[in-house]
Structure 1
Amino acid sequence: MKLISWNVNGFRALQRKMDVSQWLNELDADALCIQETKLQKDQVDVQIPGYYQFWNDAEKKGYSGTAIFTRKEPLNVTYGIGIDKHDHEGRVITLEYDPFYLMTVYTPNARRDLKRLEYRLEWGKDFVHFIGELDSRKPVIFCGDLNVAHQEIDLKNPKNNMKNAGFTAEEREDFSQLLAAGFADSFRYLYPDREGAYSWWSYMGNARGRNIGWRIDYFVVSNRLTAKVKDSKILSDVFGSDHCPVELDIAE
């Protein structure tokens, strides 16, 4: 089974740059989980034959938002994490299948001045509780832009970013607590020492060309699924956003 996750930084902008349907079929993906759609569903007509579509739009227009395109119809679909203060920005979709849950997640950004750090940590605590409840029923696969580089190896310039959003001690510890709750970062599970593996680059200073980036896009799986993980990839040769897609290949 091949799963793809991508922060597209605006789905309509992506459509102007590439034929998403053709790309998805050429990739032969079973599901595409996207973040930062930045639209209301009625603003776009998306036709991808062979895939079911599920959208979770933010109430604020042009902001946040997630979607999943999947070949296999789920048993059940839920939106958000069931806590009102977190569920107005379209950040989570959960599809239930017989063997597992599949989720797309767009974690809140702490922002440059860290003015949303407190909320970001509150979200993290509530999200861990949410996925823990799911994991008690069946394994979980969740993916997306989690807005944190977990370890120093996950960004080019760690020492210069210690107090910046996405690499504060508090956010990194939050992710450590998430993993400690029974989950594995699939990429680091397979490639614990691989350097220069990034999924986001600033548009400034030719950062992508120079590979000055951060790895903030993940596939995370319940620990009991790690034996089924065949590969976890960063598709850095795919353009169309300031993020690149990431891929999980997992046995069914």
Structure 2
Amino acid sequence: MKLVTWNVNGIRACVKKGFIDFFQQIDADIFCLQETKLQEGQIKLELEGYHQFWNYAERKGYSGTAVFTKEKPLAVTYGVGEDFEELEGRAITLEFENFFLLNVYTPNSKRDLSRLSYRVGWEKQLKQYILSLEAIKPVIYCGDLNVAHQEIDLKNPKPNIGNSGFTTEERNEMTSLLELGFVDSFRHLYPERTDVYTWWSYMAKVRERNIGWRIDYFIVSNQLKDNITDVNIHCDVMGSDHCPVQLDIQI
């Protein structure tokens, strides 16, 4: 199977910057979006051969997720549990015969860290939700997780320690999940690969100089790790401040 995740930072804008060309070229079995930034009825994508599932935020032009899949899922659910209302459209779960696919746009803790405590609480709820799925069948968890897990995952780690996306709290939540029986698919295959990122600031020449962060992931249950055949980060694909990440896995 070929799966793709991409924070498009506004699907309507991304469509004007070549989204459809990439979508058709990559021909994924499952294609996940984050930060769609629209409400129902504001776009109509003609994606022949795909079932479309959207989770819209109540706030206009904010957050939102979507999943496009060739295979019709057995079930689709939204959110990460009762403790966090799904007002921001941040999670979609698709159940297939042999696995769950969970597409997530993790809350940003904000530059002043004013939302860090909310985010940590959300992640703890998410962790319990993932474990409840994993008790039934393996999980593929993907999306913009808004954290660079290790120093190797961003260009300038030292000056960013404690900043949003690289706080001890956020990194520990990722570590905790992995220790419960999951792997970061990219690091599983490429533990020492450097200078490969998925997000760059819009500041002048930052992307040209590859001053980036790897904050978009495919996290998979340990029982699936030997089925991973490749993870490809499409750094050359424009259209957003993030780039697409591709997981090839045998299921």
1:93-108 counterparts in 2 under 5 A? 93-108=92-107
Deviates more, 1:81-90 or 1:25-34: 81-90
What's the CA shift string for 1:108-148, capped at 9, x where partnerless? Answer: 00000000000010011100000000000000001100000
Please give the TM-score of this superposition, normalised by the length of structure 1: 0.98
The aligned residue for residue 229 of structure 1 is: 228
Aligned-partner SS, 2:16 = helix
**Structure 2 Cα separation of the partners of residues 14 and 205 of structure 1:** 20
**Structure 2 Cα separation of the partners of residues 153 and 86 of structure 1:** 34
What's the CA shift string for 1:55-104, capped at 9, x where partnerless? Answer: 00001110000000110000000011122534110000000000000111
Residue 237 (structure 2) pairs with residue 245 (structure 1): no
**Which amino acid is 1:71 matched to?**
K
**Structure 1 Cα separation of the partners of residues 162 and 185 of structure 2:** 26
Mark the runs of 5 or more structure 2 residues left unpaired by the alignment: none
What's the CA shift string for 1:7-42, capped at 9, x where partnerless? Answer: 00000001111151x432221211110000000121
User: 1:86, 1:123 within 8 Å by CA — same for their partners in 2?
Assistant: no
Return closer, same or farther for 1:245/1:19 CA change in 2, 3 Å cut-off. closer
Residue 203 (structure 2) pairs with residue 204 (structure 1): yes
**Which amino acid is 2:115 matched to?**
R
Instruction: Point out 4+ residue stretches in structure 1 off by more than 4 angstroms.
Output: none
Aligned residues: 251
The aligned residue for residue 184 of structure 2 is: 185
**Structure 2 Cα separation of the partners of residues 19 and 121 of structure 1:** 32
Aligned-partner SS, 1:94 = strand
**Structure 1 Cα separation of the partners of residues 195 and 40 of structure 2:** 36
**Structure 2 Cα separation of the partners of residues 140 and 198 of structure 1:** 24
**Structure 2 Cα separation of the partners of residues 199 and 19 of structure 1:** 16
Return closer, same or farther for 1:108/1:86 CA change in 2, 3 Å cut-off. farther
Identity over aligned residues, as a percent? 59
**Which amino acid is 2:222 matched to?**
N
Q: CA RMSD in A?
A: 0.9
User: 2:81, 2:125 within 8 Å by CA — same for their partners in 1?
Assistant: no
**Which amino acid is 1:225 matched to?**
L
Residue 35 (structure 2) pairs with residue 36 (structure 1): yes
What's the CA shift string for 1:163-209, capped at 9, x where partnerless? Answer: 21000011100110111111100000010100001000000031110
**Structure 1 Cα separation of the partners of residues 84 and 24 of structure 2:** 37
**Which amino acid is 1:246 matched to?**
V
1:158-177 counterparts in 2 under 5 A? 158-177=157-176
**Structure 2 Cα separation of the partners of residues 82 and 168 of structure 1:** 25
